[in-house]
Structure 1
Amino acid sequence: MEAPRKTVLITGCSDDGIGYGLALAFQQRDYHVFATARNTDKMSKLRDLPNVTLYTLDVTDKSQITAAVNTVKSHTGGTLDYVVNNAGRNHFMPILDEDLDQLRTLYETNVWGPLAVTQAFAPLLIRAKGAVVFITSIAGYVNVPYMGTYAASKRSIEIIAETLRLELAPFGVGVLSVVTGAVRTMGQTYFGGFKIPDNSLYKPIEDVVAARARGEDGVERMDLMTYSNEVVSKITQGTTGKFWYGNNAESTKYGSSLLPTSIMDAGVAKGTGLDKL
């Protein structure tokens, strides 16, 4: 008798993003993929693929999370092999100019949303003795100007994930944090209208900050499918803990723990316009 097809649910699967790449890599390995996004119209490249179910899921909406759990249960009979928490928001702004209400929304998406999804799907993962994955960021290990609050949100969910790894171990569920470096995605296209408040101390270098938000920072980015295929290999091999991958991931891993702060500061501040102030 043929073994049932394994299953994975991935959040944030809009076209040409990391979630899309991971969904495609899993689908090519004969998994049934529950690909989710806030707007299913933005998953057009996954729409007609076999063994892919598209589903609307805003990770900040409790009712949508509950509905997603019920959908997966009806398909699998109550198990799920993997949950990949990828949905998130990028963010750029000098800290003195941050709108705290916007930051609360940022944390709802980047921290509390993945936690809510994990809590909801935990019973299915436990039955399958599966794993939960969190896509985190090297930004949480370096104090890059204008990315402080985004970096804090990504490091926050990673700390939660690392604690959860210990707490889920007795139930046979693995936890993996993918500490992601630079990857070529559509995420660099979302800041065309970026503006700094008119009364900001950083207004004179707004063009520099905006360019960095658009990915115009001179950083080479890893090919999306190169990244996605290697990450899926690690997930399916049962890797737990932290997996550092993407351009600059390894150098950040060692530099953040071994290099003097002054050297790290000089590296991350270069090209940010702070010298002009």
Structure 2
Amino acid sequence: MPEQSVLITGCSDDGIGYGLALTFQQRGYRVFATTRDIRKMSKLQGLPNVTLLTLDVKETDQIAAAAKVVSDQTGGTLDYLINNAGRNHFMPILDEDLNATRAIFDTNVWGPVAVTQAFAPLLIKAKGQIVFITSISGYINVPWMGSYAASKRSIEIIAETLRLELRPFNVGVLSVVTGAVKTQGQTYFGDFKLPADSSYHSIEDTIASRAQGIDGSTRMDLMTYSDQVVTKITTGATGKFWCGDNASAVKFGSNYLPTSFMDSGLVKGTGLDKM
């Protein structure tokens, strides 16, 4: 069979995109790994069949340039597009800077849409598959993560709509509803601060700790997660695949447990239970 190709956004070292890229590469795929700063993909540098590309999902020129490189090197096809790039975010809703939250949606929602639009002709030609890395946070009301959760559920709704709209072209769409995975995602909030006029200053330390991943939660090993996800993708799965620590529990709870029961568990340890 001809060598199959995959493009993955958000492949910085030790993140989910990196894990997926490495797993695809080890399985013999042609990998196009992308991120905003190519220097942050040092662990993928020099690997056989891996091409590193600069791609900020908010920059249409960079998206178009990446699509041209892939088209030129694959004969105009792409078998798998994995929309992984995203930004995490923690802040009480009342304290949100709306410009900052708009930027979150630009990265987590409209960026993946723009990437998908640009690569759609290549995927249609290959009868390929589009994957969106979404989050269990979109199914539960986790305090301090409302804006982030809304963005991840929004792109999942778009993905589910695309799943129907792309059927006539034989292109599959899969959402990977991701639970807790061991990555570098919690290292970006070391300087977390609430606004000076926040009503939540009495629990600021607790909110900061949760933003930094100090919440007592277990996290699935990155390569275990990547192996399971790549296996699911390459079998042609569509719809939703729940993967990562707590994913199964959230899937069950969000479907079958009373809201009051879920709320009591979600508030615990967030600081709200002490106010």
TM-score, with length taken from structure 2: 0.99
The list of structure 1 runs, each at least 4 consecutive aligned residues, that deviate by more than 2 angstroms after superposition, is none
Q: Distance in 2 between matches of 1:262 and 1:94?
A: 20
Q: Distance in 2 between matches of 1:45 and 1:177?
A: 26
Q: Secondary structure at the match of 2:213?
A: coil
* Structure 2, unaligned runs of 5 or more: none
Deviations for 1:96-151, whole angstroms, at most 9, x for unmatched residues? 00000001100000000000000110000000000000000000000000000000
Q: How many residues are treated as equivalent by the alignment?
A: 275
Aligned to 2:150: 152
Q: Distance in 2 between matches of 1:198 and 1:271?
A: 23
The aligned amino acid for 2:137 is: A
Residues 1:100 and 2:98 are matched in the alignment: yes
The aligned amino acid for 2:101 is: L
Aligned to 1:10: 8
Aligned to 1:177: 175
Residues 1:192 and 2:225 are matched in the alignment: no
Aligned to 2:136: 138
What does 1:57-68 align with in structure 2 at a 5 Å threshold?
Answer: 57-68=55-66
Determine which of 230, 234, 237 is the counterpart of 1:236: 234
Residues 1:125 and 2:123 are matched in the alignment: yes
Aligned to 2:222: 224
Residues 1:87 and 2:85 are matched in the alignment: yes
Q: Secondary structure at the match of 1:135?
A: strand
Aligned to 2:210: 212
Q: Secondary structure at the match of 2:189?
A: coil
The aligned amino acid for 1:80 is: L
Q: Distance in 2 between matches of 1:6 and 1:133?
A: 15
| Aligned CA-pair RMSD | 0.5
Q: Distance in 2 between matches of 1:152 and 1:212?
A: 18
* Structure 1, unaligned runs of 5 or more: none
Q: Distance in 2 between matches of 1:218 and 1:126?
A: 44
Deviations for 1:68-104, whole angstroms, at most 9, x for unmatched residues? 0000011001000000000000000000000000011
Q: Secondary structure at the match of 2:17?
A: helix
Aligned to 2:69: 71
The aligned amino acid for 1:66 is: A
Q: Distance in 1 between matches of 2:273 and 2:76?
A: 57
Q: Secondary structure at the match of 1:190?
A: helix
Aligned to 1:263: 261
After TM superposition, give the deviation of residue 198 of structure 1 in Å. Answer: 1.3
The aligned amino acid for 1:275 is: D
Q: Distance in 2 between matches of 1:87 and 1:125?
A: 19
Q: Distance in 2 between matches of 1:194 and 1:244?
A: 30
What does 1:27-46 align with in structure 2 at a 5 Å threshold?
Answer: 27-46=25-44
Determine which of 177, 183, 199 is the counterpart of 1:201: 199
The aligned amino acid for 1:95 is: I
After TM superposition, give the deviation of residue 48 of structure 1 in Å. Answer: 1.3
Q: Distance in 1 between matches of 2:205 and 2:255?
A: 32
Q: Distance in 1 between matches of 2:67 and 2:133?
A: 20
Q: Secondary structure at the match of 1:8?
A: strand
After TM superposition, give the deviation of residue 247 of structure 1 in Å. Answer: 0.4
Q: Distance in 2 between matches of 1:166 and 1:141?
A: 22
The aligned amino acid for 2:132 is: F
Deviations for 1:38-95, whole angstroms, at most 9, x for unmatched residues? 0000000000110000000000000000000000011001000000000000000000
After TM superposition, give the deviation of residue 275 of structure 1 in Å. Answer: 2.2
Aligned to 2:108: 110
After TM superposition, give the deviation of residue 257 of structure 1 in Å. Answer: 1.1
After TM superposition, give the deviation of residue 276 of structure 1 in Å. Answer: 2.2
TM-score, with length taken from structure 1: 0.99
Q: Secondary structure at the match of 1:48?
A: coil
Q: Secondary structure at the match of 1:243?
A: strand
After TM superposition, give the deviation of residue 227 of structure 1 in Å. Answer: 0.2
